[in-house]
């Protein structure tokens, strides 16, 4: 009877994971999707504790298991409740790294318990160890870089060193699987050390503009490592969860690369978004910057037929998503059509802007993806850019020397008027100057995004 209840619980858990993942595809249902998947995980954990048996014996160390779950729950809850939207990418990287670490620890424990297992068993153990370790150390480096505590390291030899490390890891792994007595118990520590080093060196050279892709890739690696854990324990719900995370992360990584018009290999070895500098030539060679006042901005927007707002990381930094939504509502009260143009890699993680604006209750239909937004730009009266930079840079289309050349961008310069809200003329996350600032249609509105949007809302109200 206990076996039947366990299998039913695992089936329910697997189904809730699939339903939850489906609901995560829309901000309107994402919260519910998280709760559904979490409930399924809770059912699976509870059923394992109550009904799982090995050799006719129930699970032991229940107090330790419950204590560990309690500590983890409290820490995770506190971190999630306190995190700011600007630090959300860092938290995603950190939590993802913890998942990789868990998968690596599972492999170490299993190897110590069964060091003379079959070749298939050892292969699963070692792959889980390697992938989990790479995901852990890589995610920690990504966390540090996103938090601006770790700087990019650019050196051509790192590409070759990483390749040699990867080859060495798989050579040792192959020997350990087919000739397990050659290294003995030390092989697990050798693979652990090499994998941790590879994870660090693999992420270190990758530039800032590629971090959304890296986060997505590391997420898929964690899912794969969890799936190997499911194989080890013959646990269908763990296997299903790992496969879903791994496949979703892989698909998202491919989509992100497509959005940047680059291959995954180019992302990994290209070091894009770091120190390159492309000169800002402007559309006509004129590098004069034109400013605009708040009053003129309010008049231009209030009497426009269509306004498109382009959010970027600066919007998150200023915590201006709510006041941005307020501006949208005030303009619509005056009969203006307002939408938000979302670039796939805007921000510091996949879907960062979608999450940010959903938090402010911006209706999901108003979030327009790049491929749908670009064809409408020539019919747009005003584009307001709030904190975005690289994703609206014309150099991606007209400057072959630019590091971002070939990357699809929002063609905001095709609109009748472009207003850029920025604190200063500082370059974006990719480290290059933006030609858009010098475009004849562009006017700069300098200041903190939240403060300037608040004043702009007041100006629009008074018109």
SS3 label, residue 24:
coil
Exposed / middle / buried, residue 416 (Cβ in 10 Å: 0-12, 13-18, 19+): middle
| Angle made by CA atoms 19, 22, 27, in degrees to the nearest 5 | 120
Q: 294-462 maps to which CATH number? A: 3.40.50.1220
**Which residue blocks in 24-118 are alpha helix, DSSP H?**
27-51, 62-82, 88-113
Q: What is the pLDDT of residue 266?
A: 66
- pTM recorded for the entire structure: 0.78
Burial of 56 from C-beta contacts in 10 A (0-12 / 13-18 / 19+): exposed
pLDDT of residue 281: 46
Determine contact, residues 206/429, Cβ cutoff 8 Å: no
Closest-CA residue to 143 (of 99, 84, 94, 196): 94
Beta bridge partners of 445: 421
CB 358 within 8 A of CB 321: no
- DSSP class of residue 251 equals H
Measured in whole angstroms, how far is the alpha carbon of residue 335 from the centre of its chain?
Answer: 36
Domain residue ranges of the chain, discontinuous segments joined by +: 1-82, 89-275, 294-462
Q: Which residues are catalytic, by number? A: 390
Say what angle helices 62-82 and 88-113 make with each other, to 10 degrees: 160
Q: How confident is the model at residue 318, as a pLDDT?
A: 80
Two tokens, residue 27: 């901000």
- The residues that bridge with 368 in the sheet, in sequence order, are 341
Going from the first residue of the chain to its last (463 residues), give the mean pLDDT of each consecutive group of 10, the final group possibly shorter.
86 92 80 91 90 77 90 91 79 91 93 87 94 95 85 77 92 92 89 95 77 85 91 87 90 79 66 44 59 93 94 83 92 93 81 82 88 94 90 86 81 94 65 83 89 92 85
DSSP state of 214: H
3-state secondary structure of 59: coil
Widest Cα–Cα separation across the chain:
81
306 has which bridge partners? 337
Helix (H, G, I), strand (E, B) or coil at 364: helix
Strand-pair category, 306-311 with 337-342:
parallel
Structure tokens at 390: 């690289």
Q: Any idea which residue has 């327009």 for tokens? A: 368
The pLDDT score that the predictor gives to residue 280 is 43
Residues with Cβ within 8 Å of residue 355, at least 6 apart in sequence: 27, 85, 88
């Amino acid at each position: 009877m206990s076996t039947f209840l366990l299998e039913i619980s695992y089936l329910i858990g697997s189904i809730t994971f699939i339903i939850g993942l489906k609901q995560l595809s829309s901000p309107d249902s994402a919260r519910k999707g998280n709760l559904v998947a979490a409930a399924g995980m809770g059912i699976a954990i509870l059923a394992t504790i109550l009904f799982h048996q090995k050799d006719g014996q129930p699970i032991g160390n229940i107090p330790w298991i419950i204590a560990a779950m309690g500590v983890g729950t409290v820490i995770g809850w506190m971190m999630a409740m306190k995190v700011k939207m600007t630090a959300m990418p860092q938290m995603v990287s950190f939590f993802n790294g913890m998942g990789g670490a868990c998968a690596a620890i599972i492999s170490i424990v299993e190897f110590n318990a069964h060091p003379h297992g079959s070749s298939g068993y050892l292969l699963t153990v070692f792959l889980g160890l390697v992938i989990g370790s790479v995901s852990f150390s890589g995610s920690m480096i990504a966390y540090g870089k996103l938090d601006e505590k770790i700087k990019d390291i650019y050196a051509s030899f790192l590409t070759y060193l990483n390749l040699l490390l990867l080859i060495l890891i798989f050579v040792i792994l192959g020997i350990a699987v087919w000739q397990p007595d050659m290294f003995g118990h030390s092989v697990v520590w050798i693979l652990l050390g090499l994998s941790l080093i590879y994870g660090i060196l693999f992420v270190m050279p990758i530039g800032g503009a590629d971090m959304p892709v890296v986060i997505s890739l590391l997420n898929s690696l964690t899912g794969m490592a969890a799936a190997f854990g499911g194989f080890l324990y013959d646990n269908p719900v763990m296997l299903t969860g790992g496969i879903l995370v791994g496949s979703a992360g892989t698909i998202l990584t491919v989509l992100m690369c497509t959005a940047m018009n680059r291959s995954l290999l180019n992302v990994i070895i290209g070091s894009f978004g770091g120190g390159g500098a492309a000169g800002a030539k402007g559309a006509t060679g004129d590098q004069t910057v034109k400013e605009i006042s708040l009053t003129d901005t309010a008049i231009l927007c209030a009497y426009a037929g269509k306004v498109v707002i382009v959010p970027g990381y600066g919007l998150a930094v200023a915590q201006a998503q709510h006041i941005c939504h307020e501006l949208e509502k005030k303009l619509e009260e005056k009969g203006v059509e307002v939408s938000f143009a979302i670039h796939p890699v805007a921000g510091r993680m996949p879907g960062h802007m979608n999450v940010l604006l959903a938090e402010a209750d911006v209706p999901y239909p108003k979030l327009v993806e790049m491929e749908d937004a670009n064809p409408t730009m020539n019919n747009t009266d005003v584009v307001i850019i709030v904190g975005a930079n690289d994703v609206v840079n014309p150099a991606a289309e007209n400057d072959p020397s630019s590091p971002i050349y070939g990357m699809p961008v929002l063609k905001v310069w095709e609109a009748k008027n472009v207003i850029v809200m920025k604190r200063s003329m500082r370059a974006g996350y990719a480290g290059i100057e933006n030609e858009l600032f010098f475009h004849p249609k562009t006017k700069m509105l300098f200041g903190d995004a939240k403060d300037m949007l608040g004043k702009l809302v007041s100006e629009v109200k008074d018109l």
